[in-house]
């Protein structure tokens, strides 16, 4: 398996795990929303608070990532072909052999 395929597989597994955790958190909050609370030290309330914190944190991270990507796509056409300008060609990057 090539490096690219391993990276894609790892990204796929990580994103599937992320989606599972997000869905499980939402389902747990919905299922336990009307539980019999035992008071200030209720373990279910603590778990619900952790799930809410997880959802808020990931939503903020997703919003920041989306904002960065949108600003990148908005600015990139004005810069022209940025990817081609970023890398300078050298003899090593072009894999030139100097056998003279």
The number of residues making up the chain comes to 100
Does the pLDDT at position 13 exceed 90? yes
pLDDT value at 24 more than 80: yes
Q: Are 75 and 67 in contact (CB under 8 A)?
A: no
- pLDDT tens, 34-90? 888 888 889 999 999 999 999 999 889 889 989 998 888 887 777 665 555 566 777
Report the pLDDT value the prediction gives residue 10, as an integer from 0 to 100. Answer: 92
Question: Rounded mean pLDDT of 19-47?
Answer: 89
Structure pTM?
A: 0.60
Helix extents (H) in 2-95: 3-31, 43-79, 82-86
Query: How many angstroms separate the Cα of 22 from the Cα of each of 6, 19, 62, 87, 98?
Result: 24, 5, 12, 38, 55
How far is residue 100 from each of residues 5, 35, 65, 93, 97, measured CA to CA in Å? 38, 80, 50, 19, 9
């Amino acid at each position: 398996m090539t490096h690219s395929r391993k990276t894609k597989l790892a990204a796929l597994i990580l994103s599937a795990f992320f989606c599972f955790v997000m869905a499980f958190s939402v389902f747990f909050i919905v299922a336990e929303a009307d539980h019999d609370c035992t008071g200030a030290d209720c373990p279910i309330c603590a778990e619900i608070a952790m799930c809410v914190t997880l959802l808020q944190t990931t939503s903020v991270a997703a919003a920041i990532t989306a904002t960065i990507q949108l600003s990148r796509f908005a600015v990139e056409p004005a810069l022209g072909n940025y990817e081609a300008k970023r890398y300078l060609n050298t003899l090593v990057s072009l894999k030139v052999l100097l056998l003279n």
